[in-house]
Amino acid sequence: MSFFKSYISISLKSQCRSISTNKSSVPFSIYLHWPYCESKCTYCNFNKYIQPPQVPEDRLKKAMAKEIQYYVNQYQLKHRPLHSIYFGGGTPSLAKPSTLSYLLDTLDHTCYLPTNIEITMEANPTSMELEKLEAFRKIGINRLSLGIQSFDDVALQRMGRDHSGTESIRAIGMAKRSFDNMTFDLIFARPGQTLHDWKKELMLGLDLASNHLSLYQLSLERGTPIYKAVMKGELPPIPNQDEAADMYEMTVELARDHGFHHYEVSNYSRYPHTISRHNFSYWQGMDYLGIGPGAHGRLTDPTTLQRVRTFAEFHPDKYMDLCESSGEGLRSITPISDEQTKEELVVFGLRTKMGIPYRRFESITHGSHLDDMINQEALKLCMDAGFLIQERSQEGTKETKDDLIQPYIPYENRSEWNLGGIRPTEKGLARMDTILPMLLNHS
């Protein structure tokens, strides 16, 4: 049985047959944002704050719990099964295990949690956080995501990380002892990094890895300290486009040699059941609830079927004030147009090897056809170049049967791919940023 087909057996207790059939059975995910960190990374533009001497932990958890209850009632989420739970930040592992347990209990009493739900928590490789790993596992966290980023002390210092390479190695060992499902991040194409540097670091990461890895190319976000330092010449330049492409190609090749399957531009998994189910919910257009300061979500109104994007108040104090006074910490809600929904399904779907099934696109967009969203001339060029594969049915070439990606979607049954779809090859995945602008039909 192939890697992808074996994932059929890793499914949620209650599967959704179609996004447009029984809306009460359509799963959704939840992201809970813990806003505090011990320090600010120089490359990060997320909503985070240096942890104060006295963290208002009890007040914040009650505010988040109140907001959960508000959304569950407002959007009729009670009977929709939760697909995944993700504690991100910030640094949620700085919180007390009892705090996250309180939020999990709230979800358990408010929502439908399948018995095999994925519950992820982000953590950093610092001693204070590592001491609590077993306690976090006991409250129900079953997947750990470690923010390693690098094993090089100079690079870690440049990125504003508060741990060393030696601590990173130790942290991975401790995490593997507590969690069967564990992943960590590494960043390449950093200032001054060479292909040789990255190969040495990547090989160490692959040797230490458990069953999942996230290997990201550094993105210099305008306004971040590392962006300013590179622009001012205070740090060496980042690798140029060709050098970064060489790093990416080497990453894919070495990860494959170590038994990792490349299922999304920056993500690799040894086994079907260790894919990040939560991230896949984003890529495949599922609803997700964003809870906490600065969190954002994507939800469907149960009456009108209008999709909206929610944005929470950034500052923790203002967020808590809002939750206490009105039951939610909303800063704004904006409708998502049909065109935006279609474009997101294409953009995010083609970042994965699974691609975009025709039937899924139609069900989410209420009958629209994927072909109308795609420039057919550009599609043909990409297919001729070996960048994309188009399938009109599940029956097809031997290649189709050997590496079909449809089992990656545990919340839908196999009929999802009965009408085929469009998906990238490995060569196409590497060029997706170039392919997408010409592929989308904006006429």
> Is residue 381 in some structural domain?
yes
- The pLDDT assigned to 338 comes to 92
Mark whether 381 and 267 lie in a shared domain. Answer: no
Q: Higher confidence at residue 51 or residue 17? A: 51
Better-predicted residue by pLDDT, 54 or 215? 215
**Is-contact 135 97, C-beta < 8 A?**
yes
Q: What is the pLDDT of residue 67?
A: 98
**How far is 260 from 272, CA to CA, in rounded Å?**
10
279: Cβ contacts below 8 Å, ≥ 6 apart: 264, 267
One domain for residues 139 and 265: yes
Q: Are residues 246 and 112 in the same domain?
A: yes
Residues 109 and 242 in one domain: yes
- Would residue 290 count as lying in a domain? no
**pLDDT mean over 2-9:** 38
Q: How far apart are CA 131 and CA 174, in angstroms?
A: 9
pLDDT at 169 over 70: yes
Share of the chain above pLDDT 70, in %: 85
pLDDT in tens, 92-142: 999 999 999 999 999 999 999 998 899 999 998 876 677 899 999 999 999
Residue 78 carries which side chain, given as an amino acid letter?
A: K
Structure tokens at 434: 């170039």
This prediction's pTM: 0.88
From CA 443, how far away is CA 441, in angstroms rounded? Answer: 6
Measured distance CA(365)–CA(345) in Å, rounded? 9
* Contact between 289 and 414 (Cβ < 8 Å): no
The last residue of a domain, from among 283, 303, 320:
283
Considering the domain architecture, whether residues 155 and 277 belong to the same structural domain is answered as yes
Whether residue 347 sits in one domain with residue 261: no
Q: What is the chain's mean pLDDT, rounded?
A: 86
The last residue of one of the domains, among 237, 257, 283, is 283
Structural domains of the chain, count: 2
Residues in the chain: 443
pLDDT tens-digit readout, 343-372: 999 999 999 988 888 888 988 888 899 999
- From residue 26, how far is each of 20, 70, 117, 150, 209 by CA, in Å? 9, 19, 15, 38, 34
Provide the token pair at 90: 């910030």
**Measured distance CA(412)–CA(274) in Å, rounded:** 18
Same domain as 351, residue 268: no
In order of 72, 85, 106, 299, the CA distances from 76 in angstroms are: 5, 18, 16, 11
Amino acid of residue 369 = H
Tokens read off for 241: 């486009």
CATH code of residue 261: 3.20.20.70
Residue 94 lies in a domain: yes
Q: Is pLDDT of 336 > 60?
A: yes
Identify the pLDDT of residue 271: 87
What confidence category does residue 49 fall into, taking pLDDT thresholds of 50, 70 and 90? low
Highest averaged pLDDT of the listed ranges 62-76, 211-225, 268-282: 62-76
Co-location of 26 and 104 in the same domain: yes
Residue corresponding to tokens 């160490």:
204
Q: For residue 324, tell me if it sits in a domain.
A: no
DSSP string, 73-123: HHTT-TTSBEEEEEEEES-GGGS-HHHHHHHHHHHHHHSB--TT-EEEEEE
pLDDT of res. 19? 39
Considering the domain architecture, whether residues 195 and 262 belong to the same structural domain is answered as yes
pLDDT at 409 over 50: no
Residue 314 counted as domain residue: no
Q: Are 164 and 127 in contact (CB under 8 A)?
A: no
pLDDT score, position 416: 52
Q: Estimate to the nearest angstrom the gap between the alpha carbon of 287 and the chain centroid.
A: 13
> What pLDDT, on the 0 to 100 scale, is given for residue 219?
86
Can you tell me the distance from the alpha carbon of 438 to that of 378, in angstroms, rounded to the nearest whole number?
6
Q: Where residue 312 falls among pLDDT bands split at 50, 70, 90?
A: very high
Cis (ω within 30 of 0) for the bond into 90?
yes
Confidence of residue 231 (pLDDT cuts 50, 70, 90): very high
- Confidence (pLDDT) at 89: 86
| pLDDT, tens digit, 9 for 90 and up, residues 171-213 | 999 999 999 999 999 999 999 999 999 999 999 999 999 999 9
Range of the domain at 188: 14-283
Asked, for residue 241, whether it belongs to a domain, the answer is yes
pLDDT at residue 401 is higher than 70: no
Least confident of 15-24, 260-269, 419-428: 15-24
Domain assignment present for residue 369? The answer is yes
Over 70: is that where the pLDDT of 58 sits? yes
Give Cβ neighbours of residue 172 (< 8 Å, ≥ 6 apart): 125, 146, 148, 182, 184, 208, 209, 210
Q: What is the pLDDT of residue 105?
A: 97
**227 lies in a domain?**
yes
Domain end position, chosen among 283, 307, 323:
283
CA of 218: how far to CAs of 12, 274, 374, in Å? Answer: 34, 24, 29
Looking at residue 7, what is its pLDDT? Answer: 37
